[in-house]
Amino acid sequence: MKEIETIDMLNQLNIDLQGDVGSPLGFIAGGLHVGLRRKKRDFGWIYSTTEASAAGVYTLNRFKAAPLIVTEETIYMNQSLQAIVVNSANANSCTGARGLQDAKDTQAWAAEQLNIEPYKIGVASTGVIGSFLPMEKIQYGTQHILNEKYNQSQFFNQSILTTDTTTKHLSVQVEIDGKTVTIGGTAKGSGMVHPNMATMLGFITTDANVDARTLDNCLKQATDQSFNMITVDGDTSTNDMVLCMANGQVDHQSLDENHPEWHKFIYAFNFVSQYLAKSIAKDGEGATKLVTAKVIGAYHDKEAKKIAKSIVSSNLVKTAIHGEDANFGRIVTAIGYASKHVEPSETNVSLCQLPVLEHGMHLPFDEQLLKARLTEDNIVIEVSVGDGDGEAAAYGCDLSYEYVRINASYRT
């Protein structure tokens, strides 16, 4: 039943993998190179031609970077934004009062260019922690926000990357009140990505008509099933956030839980979030495979989430998958330390659709067949831990030499 519903919903979406935050009506995005990185674009922006409802979800790390503090406060106070500016290469984190002032100056400069109030601007940074932003470069960036030469949304998608190897973006369309509504998303990973978000930035734009409170609920529930369910290395950064803007440029009845087509909007919104989240997991530093852990039968979803995350977070599982080794004992181990409620005798595990553990006991399996399936790019681990209704999926990647190489020399 649940699956049929899902396929039916999926058929109603018009998915464009070339789309991004610039796809919905009235949104413009761009970016350029201002000299924070050696050659690549490192400064970007999104703006809407009209004010937009805004919502954000933010890192749970106790050390919050200056731009995150400023943006969180801005959205908390006004529930709306008209633009977001982002820089990569420098996180503006652990930078004290000067860092906060730098984030506010960035707001002010961008506002001046766009001729709007500073409190209509969100700011975000990603990169190395512990140095001040070179503000002349940031200022230079803000001066080009309206320059048509740089206003291509793919430039924005590029400008926010750090160790990512690919841009991450899409847009989907769905009919609401017979009108086409577009939701666009762009994100970056790719190290330090973990449940509750970590050096990941996500931006979602839509031309739907949604008030800020509804948008906030929508973003929170989507995040719980997407950005909070991915992990690359278990670290949660100081800068992570997902920001969402809805400018209402499509003329339909305002969307909220009482709207008859609300479920379609939510489905599309979740689709965007999950696609971006999986793209981040798949492009984890050094990753060669996307690893999905699906858990069912837990006594509630929270429990299932803990187990699913534990599996995709385990370095031993990640290295075994990198080595295409059918070492299911490591999966069992990760299940066993995830939760006190796991009952070995009620636990079954399949790896790449081959059952390897039943009622806590290993099963004979076709070693050659499993070995062959482990060479694929998408590895799925399915776990059943009882007859409860709790279920969850978590997404991660393998752990490779390349991960170590990237991270042993990131800063210097």
Residue 212 lies near a second copy (rule: CB under 8 A): no
Residue 326 lies near a second copy (rule: CB under 8 A): yes
Q: How many chain residues bind a second copy (CB under 8 A)? A: 67
DSSP 189-226: --SS--TT--S-EEEEEE-S-B-HHHHHHHHHHHHHTT
Angle at the Cα of 272 (from 193 to 312), degrees rounded to 5? 35
The distance of closest approach from Cβ of residue 355 to a second copy in the complex, given in angstroms and rounded to an integer, is 12
- Window 90 to 109, contacts with a second copy (CB under 8 A): 91, 93-96
Contact indicator for 87, 136 with CB cutoff of 8 Å: no
Binding segment toward a second copy, per CB under 8 A, in 37-45, 204-212, 315-323, 389-397: 315-323
Closest-CA residue to 173 (of 17, 15, 23): 15
Instruction: Return the residue of 14, 143, 217, 319 that touches a second copy, per CB under 8 A.
Output: 319
Quick one: angle between helices 96-114 and 135-142, nearest 10?
20
Instruction: Return the residue of 1, 4, 77, 408 that touches a second copy, per CB under 8 A.
Output: 408
Residue 134 lies near a second copy (rule: CB under 8 A): no
Residue 88 lies near a second copy (rule: CB under 8 A): no
Q: How far is residue 308 from each of residues 123, 226, 250, 327, 347, measured CA to CA in Å?
A: 33, 13, 39, 17, 13
Which residues form the catalytic set?
A: 199
User: Which CB, 25 or 351, lies closer to a second copy?
Assistant: 351
Annotated binding site for substrate: 162, 188, 199, 285, 407, 412
Cis peptide before 190 (omega within 30 of 0): yes
Tokens linked to 251: 């003329």
Report d(CA 397, CA 166) in Å as an integer. Answer: 15
Annotated binding site: 162, 188, 199, 285, 407, 412
Element (H, E) at 44: strand 43-58
Residue 288 lies near a second copy (rule: CB under 8 A): no
Query: 11: which residues sit within 8 A by CB, 6+ positions away?
Result: none
Instruction: Return the residue of 26, 355, 360, 388 that touches a second copy, per CB under 8 A.
Output: 360
In the block, tokens 């409802």 appear at 53
User: Which CB, 132 or 353, lies closer to a second copy?
Assistant: 132
Residue 51 lies near a second copy (rule: CB under 8 A): no
Binding segment toward a second copy, per CB under 8 A, in 7-15, 245-253, 290-298, 393-401: 393-401
| Residues making contact with a second copy (CB under 8 A) | 60-64, 91, 93-96, 128-131, 191-192, 196, 233-238, 313-316, 319-320, 322-323, 325-330, 332-337, 339-340, 342-344, 347, 356-357, 359-362, 399-401, 403-405, 407-412
